[in-house]
Amino acid sequence: MNTLQGRTAVISGAPEDVIRELLHEGMNVCMVTHMASRAQVLIDSLSEEEKRRFMVSQNDLGDEAIFANVKERFGSVDVLIPNQGGPIRRDGEEVWSMSEESLERKLKLTLYPIWSLVRAARPYLEKSRAGRIILMTSAGAVNGYEGESLEDTVARGALVSLTYRLARELGPKGVTVNIIAKGPMEEPHASNDPKLLDTMPIKHFGSADEFRSLICYLAGEESGYMTGQVLNFNGGIVIG
């Protein structure tokens, strides 16, 4: 995609193959992580040219410092993809077993850090020719899918509400905000129940190629007429 060339993305918690794809398409990328070894493995796999368009930032720098450093290095911040707090799957768990403490812990891991990143990124995204925020949620947050914990459903449901409000607030500034409701993915360490496929209109789990293509579209200038949307990337677990 030509409209990705020269644009800059800040990504936290995203799969390394998404970062590689964005670099391949010509973007500058900052990976926000506390796992130095994970970042080094990624760096070792990049070409010399890609390494010049890639930087790693530690979480403990503070969000304002992260974006200031990215702006100094690459000249702009155009895309934010915050993805903290992976889902906890608890098949057969009773809804009423959720405690206030576990919900608060999940909100602190999922909602709060994402909001902090969005708030720190806003001044930079508003100066971009085509600012983009791409959030992540889950099928359960949209339709109450029982394959994940209630904590996840509630915390990631809050991200859907955040998407709607941010889209209205930032749209006039030229920044779009959309959220991907992910379903089970084909991943090396995934523990997906094969029986789940019987309930899905699409009879396979999501692939890395499919996910990367969606991210590239949302990060590009071509997606500028779409905001405040939940994109149900989940094989039909959510329809409508």
Inform me whether the pLDDT recorded for 89 exceeds 60: no
Q: pLDDT at position 124, please?
A: 98
Confidence of residue 86 (pLDDT cuts 50, 70, 90): low
* pLDDT tens by residue, 120-151: 999 999 999 999 999 999 988 898 877 778 88
Measure the CA–CA gap between 25 and 232, rounded to whole angstroms.
24
List pLDDT tens digits, range 185-240: 887 666 677 888 888 899 999 999 999 999 999 999 999 999 999 999 999 988 98
E strand intervals along 3-159? 8-12, 28-33, 54-58, 79-82, 131-138
Cβ pair 237, 183 in contact under 8 A: yes
What pLDDT digit, counting tens, does each position of 106-117 carry? 899 899 999 999
Q: Quick check: pTM over 0.75? A: yes
Can you give the pLDDT at residue 67?
A: 98
Interval 157-173: pLDDT, tens? 999 999 999 999 999 99
Q: Is the pLDDT confidence value at 88 over 60?
A: no
Under CATH, what is the fold of the domain 2-183+206-231? Rossmann fold (3.40.50)
**Looking at residue 191, what is its pLDDT?**
67
What does residue 9 show for φ and ψ, rounded to 5 degrees? -115, 140
With 90 as the cut, is the pLDDT of residue 60 above it? no
